[in-house]
Chain A
């Protein structure tokens, strides 16, 4: 299987570890990614407040290049905002003849045109529906038995378009987490907004969401996500979030935990690039300390059933 890969700006900068681990994991799963040549920014959620036309033309440019140069391959986007912006072109622009004409007029300034024939896919969609959890399970060399992961989907891969998951109660990460040998942390925060770019201009508002999400992660060994902005918000502000009732927990990309289970090593997993994962936290993950974690009761070893009961009791 081959995809036109659209990494997006975050994955080239603050979320470098997401990019590296996605490429390494996909390679291990036998999937070929080839970058869209000279791809440019999709506009994220900053284009819509500034220009309606550029909000469509920025992502459309990348689809136009993929359509022209990449033989109709599906475009694979790992970032939520990139995915939604690209998908929005297919859903809103191509379906509206007037708007489609205007967007193509903008694209013509760069000698491009987009007919609307490229399919846009999110990483999670491809992992679940093209690769399949069974193939992932076959490739696991270093299972994550005993690790409890809280799946955090964020917003824009689920909404407004229902494509591969239930926008109100998402589950698409669960088969993959289970295939890695890990356990799913049950919670209701998987699709709750992290505040997104409000963290820059209205931090007090976004912090409330972050603290609430981190508080609900109680009992999980890590939160796993597929969105670079969610990962940054949930990870980089934990010191403040703790003061507002959140708790400290590693926030990793799904591709990073997949890389751990597929035996990729630090080159492919890049835990060292996570912003606030401390040396101690990293050591606990790489040495799989969750397996022998000492429980508050003092007993070593983690008996799953009993452990869950203990956790329940501490909440009551």
Chain B
């Protein structure tokens, strides 16, 4: 394995700039009508409304953006994308904000992104998501010993229905080469 492909998803300035440039392009035409904010089912829990978030991207207020919890609360329902009168891909912009925060690597980003990281690590290892091993990976990343307790009722229910089992190895490693290639390309982009 070459040096490049053995790296993990490390922050790279180039990649960071590429995500930021993509974001500016995605929301550049936002006219601040606020239809996105009014359509968002999770807006009540956000510290900055989606409409303000797009403006902050236009202004390049990077520090304030990365301190916000807004984009972590996007559940990808696409209601804002559907209704945006300018036809902007706002749900994709929320996804790009998550990637930007991930590259920034703050403790808050590690906590909020832990589920996505655990999910993708499991996909990379097993080819298909194995719910039990994916949740284990999630708990390890969160480093909160009380967190697994809140999932015990669901875990027991799944166990009683025969829905928890050891990882299947049928597709193990199948996606390794693609993950390595994508990593190499994204770091260099």
Chain A residues engaging chain B, CB cutoff 8 angstroms? 9-10, 12-14, 16, 38-41, 43-55, 57-58, 61, 102, 105-110, 155-156, 158-160, 167-168, 192-193, 195-198, 200-206, 208-209, 236, 272-276
Give CA–CA (A192, B185) in the complex, Å: 37
Out of B112, B115, B161, name the residue touching A46 (CB < 8 Å).
Answer: B115
Residues of A within 8 A of B128 (CB): 9, 12, 39-41
Give CA–CA (A139, B88) in the complex, Å: 44
Q: With contacts A52-B99, A52-B186 known, is A201 near B112, CB below 8 A?
A: yes
Q: With contacts A43-B123, A48-B92 known, is A155 near B76, CB below 8 A?
A: yes
Give CA–CA (A61, B177) in the complex, Å: 12
Q: Assess whether B115 is in contact with A14, with CB atoms less than 8 Å apart.
A: no
Residues of B within 8 A of A41 (CB): 123, 127-129, 175
Q: Assess whether A51 is in contact with B120, with CB atoms less than 8 Å apart.
A: yes
Q: Which B-chain residue is minimally distant from A209 (CB atoms)?
A: B41
Chain B 109-125, CB-CB to A under 8 Å as 1, else 0, gives 00011111101100100
Known pairs A105-B181, A155-B79, A209-B41 / 13 extra A-B pairs, C-beta < 8 Å = A14-B163, A50-B99, A50-B117, A53-B186, A54-B120, A58-B123, A155-B76, A192-B41, A193-B42, A197-B115, A198-B75, A273-B162, A273-B163
Residues of B within 8 A of A61 (CB): 175, 178
Chain B residues engaging chain A, CB cutoff 8 angstroms? 9, 19, 41-42, 44-45, 72-73, 75-79, 81-82, 89, 91-92, 95-96, 98-99, 102, 112-117, 119-120, 123, 127-131, 138, 150, 154, 157-158, 161-163, 171, 174-175, 177-183, 185-186
How far is the CB of A45 from the nearest CB of chain B, in Å?
5
Q: With contacts A159-B82, A201-B112 known, is A13 near B131, CB below 8 A?
A: yes
Q: Assess whether B82 is in contact with A168, with CB atoms less than 8 Å apart.
A: yes
Give CA–CA (A143, B16) in the complex, Å: 57
Out of A155, A200, A203, A273, name the residue touching B78 (CB < 8 Å).
Answer: A155
